[in-house]
Amino acid sequence: MATAPTPSSASAVHDVPVETAWPGVKVRTLDVWHFLAGGLGFVDVVPTPDGKYSLGATFVPHDHGDDEFRDVVLANRATHELVLLRHLPSPRHQVLYGDADDRWVVWVEASLQPNFEDWQLYAYDRQTRAVKLVASAAHAPDDRPVPTPNVQPRVDHGMAVWSAGTAEAPLGSHADTFIANLDAGTVRVLAPESLGAVIAWPTVIVARHVASAVSGTRLVADDLATAAETDLGIEGAGYYAIDGSSLAWIDDSLRAVLLRDLATGRDRVVVDYRSLGQTAPHLQFVYLSDRLVAWGQSGGAWTYDRKLETLVRLASVEPFTYVYLNGVALEWLDGRRPGEPRTATVLRMLETTSLP
């Protein structure tokens, strides 16, 4: 049984800017949207763990905003050189989510707006340069794609996990969590009746539907090496992430970030705005490494430095902004260059190996 959360130095919600927390650390500026030779645009989706490449998509821009997407590509962030991974089937198809480990890049593409039920999951092997279809949407008896929560793949050590709707149900859809061994080409159900799979080898964490849980879900950890399953006793987590030894989550109120040592079961508070009531900021999308906890919230993006015990303000952007942590790459969306259009929206990125 986990111990009660204890306050941390960050729970007072006093933050400092990047240059104060980490003086001298280089922060790179990248364009999320930029133009390539021939007038094509490129949109950045996620970085590789080394921060050198981006999974993204090329598109033909139009002034009225109805851009035509063309190809899934891996872009060299320094040279803008592109590796073609796949031609998108139609201009309506988009790359929705992606992830990468040291060898594999995975992504989900779909076209049926607004919920993108016609999803397909692909994987690119950076060693062999082969692309494979890993999974696709389940279909109802009338051949319509089954409604699904967002299909957000995660990959580590060549094992990809995701959760998706598998059958229609009275209150939406029945969803299961799947795991694919990308090298072997096998796919199986890992956790039935569950959502939101995340992985840090050998552990996969999902939110399992539990009738006795007030919120309806409870976090469960599956050990891929031993096949052991552990009920973590955390109900209704809004978002969560895992590294090798810790779990971070945003609670069911979406007002606090907490951190658990998985070996001891001890919890601590990273930030807690719950006492502010309706004026409290809304938190979303948490990421975790052995050094940092990163998340977005109303007003910008923040990270907590676990070594320095310092809360760092990455960006002040209304109403929300994007933050992502993978391998050595920490990046966040930081608005637009003054006076320039949406094609100038910028990412800031730093390599976590450069932190003091």
* Domain-ending residue, one of 168, 193, 218: 193
172-181 and 229-235 strand pairing:
unpaired
Give the span between the Cα atoms of 132 and 86, in whole angstroms: 10
Burial of 334 (0-12, 13-18, 19+ CB in 10 A): buried
Burial of 264 (0-12, 13-18, 19+ CB in 10 A): exposed
Return the CATH number at 26: 2.40.128
Tell whether 257 and 345 lie within a shared domain. yes
Question: Cβ(10)–Cβ(311) under 8 Å?
Answer: yes
For 346, list phi and psi in degrees, rounded to 5. Answer: -115, 150
Tell whether 263 and 185 lie within a shared domain. no
Structural domain harbouring 85 = 40-193
Tell whether 27 and 49 lie within a shared domain. no
Q: What is the pLDDT of residue 287?
A: 96
Q: What is the pLDDT along the chain (356 residues), one digit of tens a residue?
A: 444 444 443 444 578 999 999 999 999 987 766 667 677 888 889 999 999 999 999 998 877 667 789 999 999 988 888 999 999 999 999 999 999 999 999 999 999 888 899 999 999 999 999 999 999 999 988 888 988 889 999 999 999 999 999 987 655 568 999 999 999 999 999 999 999 999 999 999 999 987 666 668 899 999 999 999 999 999 999 899 999 899 999 999 999 999 999 999 999 999 999 888 777 889 999 999 999 999 998 888 999 999 999 999 998 877 667 899 999 999 998 876 655 554 446 889 999 999 99
Question: Cβ(247)–Cβ(232) under 8 Å?
Answer: yes
Length of the chain: 356
Helices (H), 181-252: none
3 belongs to a structural domain: no
Tell whether 180 and 84 lie within a shared domain. yes
Beta bridge partners of 257: 250, 271
Q: What is the pLDDT of residue 61?
A: 80
Tell whether 169 and 294 lie within a shared domain. no
Tell whether 63 and 183 lie within a shared domain. yes
Q: What is the pLDDT of residue 121?
A: 99
Helix (H, G, I), strand (E, B) or coil at 290: coil
For 176, list phi and psi in degrees, rounded to 5. Answer: -125, 165
Secondary structure of the chain: what % helix, strand, coil (to 5)? 5, 55, 40
Give the span between the Cα atoms of 251 and 259, in whole angstroms: 11
Tell whether 296 and 186 lie within a shared domain. no
Domain total of the chain = 2
Q: What is the pLDDT of residue 337?
A: 60
Tell whether 80 and 12 lie within a shared domain. no
As given in the structure block, the two tokens for residue 353 are 């190996």
Tell whether 309 and 274 lie within a shared domain. yes
For 61, list phi and psi in degrees, rounded to 5. Answer: -75, 145
Tell whether 162 and 250 lie within a shared domain. no
Sole residue written with tokens 């002034």: 63
